[in-house]
Amino acid sequence: MCGIVGYIGKKKTTKVLLDGLKELEYRGYDSAGVALLDCENIEVYKALGKLENLKEKTKNILENDYNLGIGHTRWATHGKPTELNAHPHLGEYSYVVHNGIIENYKELKDDLIKKGHKFISQTDTEVIVHLFENINNKINDTTQAFKDTISKLEGAFSILLITKANPDKIYFFKHGSPLIVAKGNEEKEVLFASSDAPLIGLAKKVVYLEDKVGGVASAENIEFFTDEFSWSTLPESKQFAQKNGFRFFMEKEIYEQSDVVSDCMLGRIQDNTVTFDEIEPSIIEGINEIKICACGTSYHAGMTSSYFFERLSKIKCHVEIASEFRYKEPLLSKDTLFIVISQSGETADTLEALKMAKKAGLKTLVICNVDNSSMTRLADFTILTRAGIEKGVASTKAFSTQTIVLWLLSLYFAKIRNSISSEKMQKELLALREVPKALIISDKIHEKTKRLSKRYLHGHGFFFIGRDVFYPLALEGALKLKEISYLHAEGYPAGEMKHGPIALADPELFTIALMPKNLLYDKVKSNVEELSARDSTICSISPLDFELSDDFIKINETEHYMLEFFEMLVVLQLLSMEISIRLGNDVDMPRNLAKSVTVE
C-alpha cells in the first residue's frame, strides 16, 4: 500500500511533493523518494525509513525551481526496504513511481535483460521504466510508448512517469490502485495523489480515476486516453478527506480491510505457492515448536494462527499472553521459533518477552505494522502487515492483516516441511484470494447491524461463543464491544457453556453465536440450543438459517471456513461500533485506552 504524488506548476515543487507525501505516509514508511525535473535534468533524492529522513536530504533544495516532479512513499512488496529499492526508479532517461504490483514482471524483466537492459533493484516497478524506454527507443513517440507499456503490464497498479524525452509532461495510469488527478487552484497547475488529503487546499476540481484510465498532463492541458472520466469537487475539510466521508476513523478502517488485506498479500502468493522476501526457508530448520506471544487483539490473531500451524504446518504451537509470560519463568529451548505480534512494535510486555527469547538464544520473528519499531529492530526476522496507519484505538484492520500474514506463514512452513498436499495448498490459496471479497461490506449487512444495535444497549452482559478458530474470533468480538461500548462481554468456546457459564443464562444475557456452515456447525448449534432453552437472547451469525435465533445476521455461503471467519469479523466490528454510537461514546478514542501500550 504505497502512496504517490505528482506536481506541475509554479509553486516550489519539492515542498508540494513532501507535503503531499506527509499526508500519505500512513500508506507506507519503508522509504520515500522524489524525482524533480528541471528542463532536461532530473534530480532524484531517496531515503530509507520515515519521511523525515527524506526531508533532511532535500532541505537545501526546497527553494529551487523545477518544472515538475513525482514522489513516493513505500510499503515493501517486491524487494527489501533499501534505498536501491526505493522509488522513483530510473532507466537511462526516465523515472517512474508505482503503487501496486506487476504480476508478470519476471517475464518482462528476463526479456529486457536479454535486450541489454541493466536492473539495479529487486522491485517489480523498475521493469516499467525499462519497458517504456525500450519501446520509445524504437518508435520515438513517448505517448504511444507509454500506452504500449501499459498494455503489456498485468496486475494492479497506479503509475506516474516522467522522462527527459518529453520534459514538460507527467504520464499517468490507474488500474486497481487509487489515483486522483486534480486541476490546481493556480493557473497552469496539475496535481496527482493516491488520496484526497494531499490535494485539500491546493485544488478543487479532481478526477477520481477509474480502472484502465490514464493520460498525459502538462501545465497547459490534461489529455485523457479515454472519455470515461468525470470531474468532481474535493471536500473542503482535510479531516473529512482523511476519513473518506465516514463518521469515524474506526468505521473507515473497518471498510478498508478488503483493500489492506489485498495489499498484505501482494507478492506473497506467487506461482501457486507462498513466498516471503523477508525470511528464508532456514528459519524453520531445527524447529520443533512455535511459541507465539502477544497482547489484546494481537493475542487473538495469534490464537487463531495456532490452529493453522498445527493443522497445516504440523508443528506444535503454543500462544502466550505477553504480560503473563514474562513472570512464569518460562522454559525456553532453542528448537522453538518465538513469534511476537504487535500492531505498533512498541507494546511493552511483548517487547520484554521478545528480549527474553533473544537472550535465551531462540530464533525470533515479529509480525508488525510499523517498520523501524523497537521490535523490528530487535527480532531476527520481520514480516510487515502493511495495514497502514490505524487511527482508531480499537484495532480492526490490524487483526485482519495479522491473521492473513499468519495464515500465509503457516502455508509457507507447510510447504517447507512437506506437510501439505498440492491439492490442499491450492484450496487454501484459493480461499486466501477470496478474502478481500469476503471483507467487502454490503449496505444490507451494515444496515442490519445498525437496526439490531438498539436492542443491545442494556442487560447484564454478552456471551460471544464459537468453536475452533471461531473461539478466538469470539474473544475478539467481545473485546471490541468492551473497548468501545463499555458493556460487559465475554468470549467462550461454545462447548464450555455447560461447564459453568450457562448458569448466567436468562433473557437479559445476550448470546452472539458464531455458526459457520463449514466447521463444527452441528456442535455449535447444539450448544446454542442449550442456551436458548435457558432463555438467553440469541443473535446468531451464520450462512444457514437458525430457527431459535431471536436475531439473525445472514452471511454468504462459501466453501471455506476462513471466508466465513472474515465475514463474521466484519459483522462483529460493525455491531460493536453501532452499539457504541447509540450509547453516545467516542468510538475512535474510548475512555481509559491508548493506541499503543508502551508501559506495563
Residues with catalytic roles? 2, 595
Contact 351, 358 (CB under 8 A): no
Give residues with Cβ within 8 angstroms of 218, minimum separation 6.
8, 168, 169, 190
Handedness of CA 163, 166, 167, 172 (dihedral sign): negative
Among 218, 207, 41, 72, smallest CA distance to 143 is for 218
d(CA 389, CA 242): 11
Degrees, nearest 5: CA angle 489-495-500: 65
Contact 292, 339 (CB under 8 A): yes
CA distances from 362 to 235, 281, 287, 353, 354 (A): 51, 16, 10, 12, 10
Give residues with Cβ within 8 angstroms of 104, minimum separation 6.
152, 153, 154, 155
Handedness of CA 43, 47, 53, 54 (dihedral sign): positive
Alpha helices in 439-536 (DSSP H): 443-453, 470-485, 521-533
Q: Which three cell numbers stand for residue 171?
A: 504520464
Residue 398, helix vs strand vs coil: helix
Q: Are strands 94-102 and 89-90 parallel, antiparallel or unpaired?
A: antiparallel
